[in-house]
Amino acid sequence: MAYTTIDDPTAFFQTVLYTGNATARSITFDGNTDMQPDWVWGKIRSQSYSHRLFDSVRGTGKGIHCDTTEAEFTQNANVSAFNSNGFSLGDDNGMNSDGDTHVAWCWKAGTTSGLSGGSITPSGYSINTTAGFGIYKYTGNGSSGATIAHGLGAVPKAFFIKRLENNDAMNMYNESLGNTKTLRLDRTDAPATSSSFYNNTTPTSSLITLGTESGFNGSSSIYVMYAFAEKQGYSKFGSYKGNGQSSDGTFVYTGFRPAWIMRKNIDGGITESWIMQDNKRNTFNVVDKWLEANANVAEDTAYQTDFLSNGFKMRSNNDGTNRSATNYIYMAFAENPFTTSSGIPACAR
C-alpha cells in the first residue's frame, strides 16, 4: 500500500477557478484548509492570453511568462498579495479580465531562512521540505559546475529555470531526461542536449549543479528557479510510453488520485504541446479540458484521461499524450493519496 506523510494535499497545492471582473478583489480557495500560496500560475481559459507566473520570492506584481521568452515584467494590477487562503488581484486583464473564465494553480513553500552551501547563494528563497518545493532567486556566476543549495532534504526530480532581466526561455529539468537534456516550455520541440545546461551533473539531496549556458547561469544574470522533490502520495515526476490505444490507453501509477498533471512528448520528430489538465475544470472522468503551457491559446477539449485513485490512464490515442511507442515525461500533484498515513484508501472519482 502507498502510505504518505501528506494526508491533505490541499495544504500545499490548490487549483482555483474564477470569472474575472476587472476590479480589485481577493480569490479564496475552496474547502477548509488554509493555504498561503508562494507560487501562483494563472491563465485565462476563455481567450488567447499568455500564462502569468508570480511568486512570493520575487514579490507581488513581478510576473513572468512560460509561453514566451519575454523578460520579467512589473504589473501591480496582477497578483497584489499572497493571502492566508488565496491571493489578491488588481484589474489587469492578464489575471482578471472582465467576464472571462480563469484558472490559477498554486503551490505553498514557506521557510525563508537557514539555507546554506553551494557556490551561488540565492538572494531570496522560500522552501517547504514537507511538500518538497522550493523557490530561489539567484545571480549567475558564469562558471562551469556552479552549485545552488536547495534545502529540500531530498533529490529534486524536476525544476524550472527562467532568466529574468533578458529575453530567454523557461527551461525544465526532469530526472527522466537525464542531466544532459532540457525542455523549453515555450516550444513543442524535443529536448535539447548540452553539457552547458546542468554540467552533466544530476542533482543531489543538497545541491543543484549548473553549466555555463546563459539561460541557466550567465555571469551577473538574474534567475528564478522552482524545484521539486518527489513526495510519496503527493507528487510524482516521471515518464511513460504511449500504447496508441484509445479504449485501453497506458496507465501511469502515481500513488495518488491526481489533482493536476502536465505532460510532454520527448521523442524527436514529433512536435506536440505541453498538456495541462486538472480536477477542477473536469470534476469527473473523462478529463478532457486542457491548456498548453507553451501557448497563449484558450482552453480546448481533447486528450481524454481518467484520473484514478492511484494514477491516471489515457483514454485517447492522440500524439500529445498516447501515441504508440512514444515516450512522455510528466509531473503530477495529488488530490488524495492512494492510502493515507492511517491506512484509509482514496475513493474513485
346 three-state secondary structure = coil
pLDDT single digits (tens) 144-175: 999 999 999 999 999 999 999 999 999 999 99
Residues 129, 222: one domain?
Answer: yes
At 341, the pLDDT band (50, 70, 90 cuts) reads: confident
Answer whether 85's CB lies under 8 Å from 34's CB: yes
End-to-end Cα spacing for the chain = 19
The Cβ-side half-sphere exposure at 5, using a 13 Å CA radius, reads 7
Inside any domain, residue 345: no
Residues 59, 20: one domain?
Answer: yes
pLDDT at 213 over 70: yes
DSSP state of 96: H
Q: State the cell numbers at 73.
A: 515584467
Domain boundary among 176, 211, 229: 229
Inside any domain, residue 81: yes
C-alpha to C-alpha distance for 118 and 223, rounded to whole angstroms: 16
Residues 101, 15: one domain?
Answer: yes
Residues 95, 129: one domain?
Answer: no
Answer whether 41's CB lies under 8 Å from 55's CB: no
pLDDT at 190 over 90: yes
pLDDT at 303 over 60: yes
Domain that residue 98 falls in: 9-107
Q: How many domains in the chain?
A: 3
Residues 135, 224: one domain?
Answer: yes
Residues 216, 250: one domain?
Answer: no
> Which residues partner with 163 through β-bridges?
223
pLDDT at 345 over 90: no
Domain boundary among 195, 229, 263: 229
- The pLDDT of residue 61 is 93
Residues 262, 330: one domain?
Answer: yes
The percent of residues above 70 in pLDDT, for the chain, comes to 98
**Average pLDDT of the residues in 259-282:** 95
DSSP state of 223: E
Residues 255, 223: one domain?
Answer: no
Inside any domain, residue 218: yes
Inside any domain, residue 342: no
**Average pLDDT of the residues in 48-73:** 97
- The pLDDT of residue 30 is 86
